[in-house]
Amino acid sequence: MIIKSSAELRNNYRKVADFCIKSNEPVFLTNNGEGELVVMSIGAYNKQQQSLKIQKDLLRMEAEKAVGHVRYSFAPEVLGEMRKIIDRAKVANRE
């Protein structure tokens, strides 16, 4: 985890931005020694959002299955649903 002061961002924006872009890691910013913001590249943000979307969709499918709303009788149906979720996430990541 990289922690920098807000002054570091103000004085060395390009250095911080380059680090975020190259490493795909967030930088945590402090103000007066207290955590305040997180800065990350757009690529890292999109990847994180894609991962959260996939997790959300899979959890929804599990919850629906648990209460009996959705029943899959064959593995190809399950794989087809997972492929749809993954394909949607890929399209969203390109946007």
Assess whether 35 and 47 both reside in one domain.
no
Assess whether 90 and 52 both reside in one domain.
yes
Assess whether 84 and 50 both reside in one domain.
yes
Overall average pLDDT of the 10-22 stretch: 95
Distance of CA 57 to the CA centre of its chain: 14
Please tell me the total count of domains within the chain.
2
Question: For residue 69, what are the domain limits?
Answer: 43-94
**Span 19-52, pLDDT tens digits:** 999 999 999 999 999 999 999 999 999 999 999 9
CA 41, 46, 51: angle at the middle one, nearest 5?
130
Q: Evaluate if residue 69 carries a pLDDT over 90.
A: no
* CATH number of the structural domain spanning residue 24: 3.40.1620.10
Q: State the pTM of this model.
A: 0.62
Assess whether 59 and 90 both reside in one domain.
yes
Mean pLDDT of the chain: 87
CA 77, CA 48: separation in Å to the nearest integer?
A: 27
Assess whether 35 and 55 both reside in one domain.
no
pLDDT confidence of residue 45: 95
